[in-house]
Amino acid sequence: MPLDSDTPLNSLGFAKPPSQTRVVVAMSGGVDSSVVAAELAREGYDVVGVTLQLYDHGAALAKKGACCAGIDIHDARRVAEDMGFPHYVLDYENIFRDAVIDEFADSYLAGATPVPCIRCNERVKFKDLLQTARDLDADCMATGHYIQRKIGDNGPELHMAGDPRRDQSYFLFSTTPEQLAFLRFPLGHLTSKAETRALAAKHGLPVADKPDSQDICFVPDGNYASVIEKLRPGAGEPGEIVDIEGRVLGQHEGVIHYTIGQRRGLGIGGLADPLYVVKLDPDARQVIVGPKSELSTRIVPVREINWLGDEPMDSRAEWPLSVKVRSTRPPREAILRPTGLDTAEVELLTPEEGVSPGQACVFYETEGTRIFGGGWIWRG
């Protein structure tokens, strides 16, 4: 609707009262999204809670520390009942398997280290669920992610969270400008998780003290290999552990049990210097190991780039910025050189160790908080 200069914007950015503003809240059953829903309901918004049932892996149903199954659906429903807004559970198991789990398994089998949480946001939550929110005539969709949406000269921008320890920008780099226009992140400005829990306690939410989710939701015990073997029988075929010269040092029980940068659990002790996994060759069923120096990477090829800059990415030959090549590492200065419409070469000014195909490379403003998108690391 056109903005009326005499009507102040509400807290979600609309020129109308909260009671006339419908917001779908994506509720995982955790404390973050529950607080978002409760706060918006308290402010008088027309809140509709939606929880996605994404998987049903037996023991995961009662597992604390995951999301989007069993106990979490129950917790989301309780919050909605207590706060007095409608709540719906949507069965997205088939969509989730096709869009996220299958690629996760295939990427692991190809020797990559995938990040399924990014694909879930990109292909499920911010695609199908967002469309569902539109179908429900919502004005916007809100989530409990720790990231900020700010309005710049050219429209909505993505910025890092107020709490660097909670910032989830690495997992949300693929959010498109169109999606960003519809999304809201009410917790992004908070400076600590303690503030979120205090809000939960203020509303008397039953999830106020619920632990944060830690694992990939469909791998609740952290054992990736067992999940892959279940999805792709025969994936754990044994093979050789070799050094960078090709000399056989030992045997392994399946490439899927190893990741780039791994040192422990190789079963090839007794050597003078420690060895690390530097490469995985699933076709040859080989795990290649070498000294730590072999993990150092300066040039990173990136594809499937989602660019969030004000100018087209290919409008410049070089972009000085900072990048994250793993979610747990701080942004480091780099130079982005476009090689196509959605491909680029990233030169790290300080080499990084353990850069792995399948991980994301996320672009940041060097002197600021803005996120310029990102892409997927591949072998080139």
Residues assigned a catalytic role: 120, 217
- How close are the terminal C-alpha atoms of the chain, in Å? 46
The one-letter amino acid code at 93 reads E
- What does the block give as tokens for 160? 């890092």
Can you spell out the DSSP letters for 345-379?
EEEEEEEEE---TTSEEEEE-TTSSBEEEEEEE--
Q: Is 231 annotated as a binding residue?
A: no
How far apart (Å, rounded) are the C-alpha atoms in residues 366 and 113? 26
Place of tokens 């030169």: 347
Alpha carbon of residue 47 to chain centroid: 25
Q: Is 52 annotated as a binding residue?
A: yes
Q: Is 236 annotated as a binding residue?
A: no
Q: Is 356 annotated as a binding residue?
A: no
Residue 45 near residue 37 (C-beta atoms within 8 A): no
How far apart (Å, rounded) are the C-alpha atoms in residues 165 and 230? 34
How far apart (Å, rounded) are the C-alpha atoms in residues 124 and 3? 31
Residue 329 near residue 345 (C-beta atoms within 8 A): no
Identify the burial level of 49 via C-beta atoms within 10 angstroms of its C-beta, where 0-12 means exposed, 13-18 middle and 19 or more buried. buried
Q: Is 33 annotated as a binding residue?
A: yes
Q: Is 110 annotated as a binding residue?
A: no
Q: Is 124 annotated as a binding residue?
A: no
Q: What b-and-e string marks burial along 213-240, b requiring 16 or more CB atoms within 10 Å of the CB?
A: bebbbbbbeeebbebbbebeeebbeebb
Strand 22-26 vs strand 46-53: parallel, antiparallel, or unpaired?
parallel
**Residue 11, C-beta contacts closer than 8 angstroms, at least 6 positions apart:** 18, 43, 186
3-state class (DSSP) for residue 225: helix
- What does the block give as tokens for 320? 């000085």
Q: Is 355 annotated as a binding residue?
A: no
- What does the block give as tokens for 322? 């900072």
Q: Is 30 annotated as a binding residue?
A: yes
Q: Is 32 annotated as a binding residue?
A: yes
The one-letter amino acid code at 360 reads A
Binding-site residues from annotation: 26-33, 52, 144
Binding-site residues from annotation for ATP: 26-33, 52, 144
